[in-house]
Structure 1
Amino acid sequence: TRSQLPGFGSKSVGGGAAPQWLRPFPGEVLGIQFAVLPVGWVGDWHESPHPQWVIPLRGRWFIETGDGTRVEMGPGDIHFGQDQGTTDARGHRSGQFGDAPCFQMLVQFAQSPAASVAHPFGHEASR
């Protein structure tokens, strides 16, 4: 079956490269940071410092929301955090899990480019 990729377009990145599916993500990038979460590290309740993509490169981490939902992620997963301005600055809990540190890349934005979008790739992308 063929997957739906709303907002993506097929194009070459140049030269002799075959086309690939690309989608721009709007917004002013504030900076890119790399983080290492040591084994056992937990960030108790906090908000993301900026709207940001969290991209685990190696190891595993979790994020827990105020309703108790916990999502565990590792390489191949991405998370967009935009919980600034939450009630009582509660935000979320996050931390490393497993027996190895978690290495992450954070792409931070000046403002949330997706504040009105529940899932930046649309619900069809997961089919």
Structure 2
Amino acid sequence: MSDAAPRIPYWHLWTDAQGISRQTRCSLTEFALHSMNPPAAPQWQGQKTHGGMTVMVTVQPVGWVGAWHENPRPQWIIPLSGRWFVESMDGQRVEMGPGEISFGEDQGTRERDGRKGHLSGTVGDGPAVLMVVQMDAPPDLATPCRFR
């Protein structure tokens, strides 16, 4: 087992002080080596988030594209199969597949040129199956990479 704590990359869709959504590449880095429940062997565990959450799985059909919109709540989005994209108001488009992670926190954007929040949809010839973990906590605006 490696002694080095892992670095797990994720994309953070966030709102800047001018109300424009942006995407920043971040990393989860704060891990500690603990047993989940002794006598199980130790494993790297990240920070815990407390509070209410809603967990769901969504299936975006082939060719699905959502209209420009904000995330309903701050939420982790993890593709389980297929590919999907997220385009932020600054024009950056990120495509993700299984195992890649996005944290959607683009609440509080201001409409500009018909864009508000983000545009998302499927990529390729298969549906995108996404696990979504919505947080009950309010967004933390203008703070890219707030999870470490």
Structure-2-length-normalised TM-score = 0.72
> Within 1, Cα distance between the matches of 2:43 and 2:126?
33
Are residues 1:33 and 2:69 paired? no
Inter-CA distance 29–116: structure 2 relative to 1 (3 Å threshold): farther
| Pairing partner for 1:67 from 65, 78, 90 | 90
One-letter amino acid of the structure 2 residue matched with residue 48 of structure 1: N
Query: What's the CA shift for 1:42?
Result: 0.3
| Pairing partner for 2:30 from 1, 4, 7 | 7
Where does the alignment leave 5 or more consecutive residues of structure 2 unmatched?
Answer: 8-28
Q: Which is richer in strand? A: 2
Moved more, 76-85 or 88-97: 88-97
- The CA deviation string for residues 90-114 of structure 1, in whole angstroms up to 9 with x for no partner, is 0000000111101011000112475
Where does the alignment leave 5 or more consecutive residues of structure 1 unmatched?
Answer: 122-127
The answer as to whether partners of 1:27 and 1:112 remain within 8 angstroms in 2 is no
The answer as to whether partners of 1:32 and 1:107 remain within 8 angstroms in 2 is yes
Please state whether the residue corresponding to 1:42 is helix, strand or coil.
Answer: coil
The answer as to whether partners of 1:27 and 1:113 remain within 8 angstroms in 2 is no
| Pairing partner for 2:130 from 104, 112, 118 | 104
The answer as to whether partners of 1:37 and 1:95 remain within 8 angstroms in 2 is yes
> Within 2, Cα distance between the matches of 1:38 and 1:49?
20
- Aligned CA RMSD, in angstroms, stands at 2.2
- The CA deviation string for residues 32-61 of structure 1, in whole angstroms up to 9 with x for no partner, is 111000000001210001100001101000
| Alignment coverage as a number of residue pairs | 121
> Within 2, Cα distance between the matches of 1:90 and 1:113?
16
Q: Which is richer in helix? A: 1
Moved more, 22-31 or 54-63: 22-31
2:47 matched residue in structure 1: 24
